[in-house]
């Protein structure tokens, strides 16, 4: 791991911390009816964060930055203050997709501004419930705090030009974490064109998880990604997905494995496929 604080927390560990006033629990479920589902039932004490409203600045044209570009520093600072998060706070984030919904994205964003005490709940919402963490449908009352200083993304980012240069360079590797059918151009549920960036390799984020929906051990993940990277350095590695959200699941996996966090291409396929770039599709096969 690139800091001394594990990026993952186990459900049993969270249960032991449930009465602690020192943790800030965040529900980062995303998708249709996510906020409504949070209101119906969430882990007791959890505060809701919205992917589109809080963790991105969704523009009208995804060709400029993709479907989920990062918010401004001012906006993100305001979100953190509203959620009651201070630089010293211990933040624990969960979703219902083992971190792949928006929990890992929020983890990356916090780490990128220098926040160290942030973890994603391994196994997500259902694992916590199974472990005995109480749920609630009550409105959570909490106080906002003073402005959180946000001035830079300190973790590496890659833009579309950097991906263009890297995709056919043997000293770089571009990893696409979407499922194989999307990578192969067989289906595309979200973007206009099905396919992938030529030169990219497909490592579906689902491979980060075991059959029970928990991350593999750090040792297994280290062996896996060390083999994938080979002689390519992590800082010469670019990870992307559809819109810079689920890619963070793999960045977390690599951090958990003790591998320095690679570059994130926020625009991802949603930006690349809307620009005049080479694309692998079933038509160009």
- Domains in the chain (CATH in brackets) are 8-136 (3.40.250.10), 160-272 (3.40.250.10)
Q: Please check the confidence at residue 285 and state whether its pLDDT lies above 70.
A: no
CA atoms within 13 A on the CB side of 132: 7
Q: Is 248 a catalytic residue?
A: no
Phi (first) and psi of residue 178, to 5 degrees: -70, 165
Do 1 and 255 touch, CB atoms closer than 8 A?
Answer: yes
Bridge partners, residue 196, by sequence: 280
Q: Give CA–CA dist 69/245, Å, rounded.
A: 9
Q: Please check the confidence at residue 2 and state whether its pLDDT lies above 60.
A: no
Q: Please check the confidence at residue 10 and state whether its pLDDT lies above 90.
A: yes
**3-class state of residue 196 by DSSP:** strand
The strand ranges marked E within the chain are 8-9, 23-27, 42-43, 47-48, 90-94, 118-121, 135-136, 173-176, 201-202, 237-240, 263-264
DSSP state of 217: P
Tens digits of per-residue pLDDT, 103-142? 999 999 999 999 999 999 999 999 999 999 999 999 999 8
Which one is catalytic: 241, 251, 261, 279? 241
Q: How confident is the model at residue 21 (pLDDT cuts 50, 70, 90)?
A: confident
């Amino acid at each position: 791991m690139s800091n001394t604080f594990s990026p993952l927390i186990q459900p049993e560990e969270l249960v032991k911390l449930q009465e602690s006033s020192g943790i800030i629990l965040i529900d980062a479920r995303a998708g249709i009816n996510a906020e409504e589902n949070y209101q119906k039932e969430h882990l007791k004490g959890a505060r809701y964060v919205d992917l589109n409203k809080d963790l991105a600045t969704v523009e009208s044209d995804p060709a400029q930055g993709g479907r989920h570009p990062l918010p401004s520093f001012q906006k993100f600072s305001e979100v953190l203050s509203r959620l009651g998060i201070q630089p010293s706070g211990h933040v624990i984030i969960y979703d219902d997709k083992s971190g792949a919904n928006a929990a890992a994205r929020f983890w990356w964003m916090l780490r990128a501004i220098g926040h160290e005490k942030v973890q994603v709940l391994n196994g997500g919402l259902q694992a916590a419930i199974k472990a005995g963490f109480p749920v609630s449908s009550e409105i959570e009352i909490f106080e906002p705090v003073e402005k959180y200083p946000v001035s830079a993304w300190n973790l590496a980012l890659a833009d579309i030009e950097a991906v263009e240069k890297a995709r056919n360079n043997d000293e770089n590797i571009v990893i696409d974490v979407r499922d194989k059918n999307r990578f192969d151009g067989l289906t595309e549920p979200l973007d206009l064109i099905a396919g992938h960036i030529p030169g990219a390799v497909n490592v579906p984020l689902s491979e980060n998880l075991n059959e029970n929906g928990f991350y593999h051990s750090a040792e297994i993940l280290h062996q896996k990604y060390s083999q994938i990277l080979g002689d390519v350095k992590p800082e010469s590695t670019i990870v992307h997905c559809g819109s810079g959200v689920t890619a963070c699941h793999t960045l977390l996996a690599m951090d958990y494995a003790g591998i320095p966090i690679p570059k994130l291409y926020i625009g991802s396929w949603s930006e690349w496929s809307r620009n005049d770039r080479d694309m692998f599709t079933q038509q160009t096969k």
